[in-house]
Structure 1
Amino acid sequence: MQLIDSHCHLNFEGLAGRLDEVLANMAQQSVAQALAISVSRSSFEEVLAIAERYPQIYCTVGIHPDREDAEEFSVRELVSRAQHPKVVGIGETGLDYYWCKGDLAWQHQRFADHIQAANETGLPVIVHTRDAAEDTLRLLKEGNINSGVIHCFSEDTAFAEAALDLGLYISFSGLLTFKNAPLIQEAAKYVPADRILVETDAPFLAPVPKRGKPNEPAYVRHTAEFLAKLRGEQVEDVAAYTTENFYRLFRKVPRPESAAA
């Protein structure tokens, strides 16, 4: 059985200082690879360094939507940095109306730039959306998005259906295992097996039974096990199809056996 953590922040406090241990824990839980996510210009350099150091780690390039004063990447810069063989996606990007209020035209423009870069590179866009479902879907549609994933899914089945109609994948995090997540759980039963990914969003949102502890990629196994039980499937099957979906979406990532060869 092989799992992949499709979204984590290995450069964040709690993980960056013990990467060898974190990766050893991954291997122990059959988590073969992980995708380290960029959220700022400085964090891109950090996650790229991690990806270059460890063969089982890949990374993305992007600016998170939570800070208006964040130093931007231009579309040209996003496209340029995405040429690196270890950079396999654009983002994390999107809309966040929970933390950000007022005139959010800057957020919309940042999201649109990332969508454009994703389309130009042919790489998937990693979408963050919080309290912004309608505008998230609208901007993705207006941008004619070619490939992407709704990360850390926190919406309902109607949103999942709309995202699937745009050709997007849906990634479930530890949120899925929380008792107060019935809408997310209903959506997880609805999404077809060929469009599901699993992630940790580590060091955040540790799944039950690790809730309240710092999250790490090894814990994606708990989310996969919960997803299997929820859908009436075997965890081995969930691991197989979420892994296959990851490689189909993130086409630049070689399978471990290919990388070893």
Structure 2
Amino acid sequence: MNKKDLRLTDMVYCLAVLDNNTFISGSYDETIKLWNIEKGISTKNFQGHGSWIYCLAVLDNNTFISGSADETIKLWNIDKRISTKTFEGHTASVYCLAVLDKNTFISGSADETIKLWNIKKGISTKTFEGHTASVYCLAVLDKNTFISGSADYTIKLWNIKKGISTKTFEGHEKSVECLAVLDNNTFISGSYDETIKLWNSDKGISTKTFKGHTNWVNCLAVSDNNTLISGSRDNTIKLWNIDTGICTFTFEEHTNWVNCLAFLDNNTFISGSRDYTFKLWNIC
């Protein structure tokens, strides 16, 4: 059931939730917007990037970071509506971000690398190399371990202290576009091969494949250990039971690709689309 639509002037690419009534979005129009869900309006606009906004990550209720096709990452202060720092080092578009702690984050890029950043110093302290194509997605398993998905069709498990990949997961037949973590030993991936896979990180194997989308899987979100939603270039969002691997419902109101998803609570989520809208959904 769709509860509310929020409309932009360009394609939505990414979003991140601040609280159950507030989120931020990144768009192809090179801006980031802060939204009030109850009022259904954008209350703040952040400008400073020189190209598309591909990714967002929240540090706290007044601070977030953004990655762009302009090859930079920016740190933003919400109250002041300004970028307080720019992180430079990637040599191609920044596609994904993940926060490790209040002073550390990682970024993945079309330059095939992942970088570890110190926020206070404003510098990259480590570069992770091993993928042979663009890094599209990142997810943190624990304080010393993260995973990355790439256009090289693989997912890699990384040890942060050692700066190395300790395991490679193979099974997708096309680019890995999105990742979602269930626990420190289980995660889910979505791919351009139209499938979603459940993985055991200890064993290094896929234990289940979810099939039903008819185009690339662009985004994933998990509300609890048994509920998954996925957004696709087939313009739909699917609700999955993880235990059974069955799609229990399909949401079909978007008229173009679904690029991003986020849960507000176990029963409510937001979707952003290439159709210039956000939609607020109630599962029940």
Q: Which TM bucket (shorter chain)?
A: 0.3 to 0.5
> RCO (CA 8 Å, sep 6+): is it higher in 1 or 2?
1
More helix as a share of residues: 1
Structure 1 length-normalised TM:
0.35
More strand as a share of residues: 2
Structure 2 length-normalised TM:
0.33
Q: Larger radius of gyration, structure 1 or 2?
A: 2
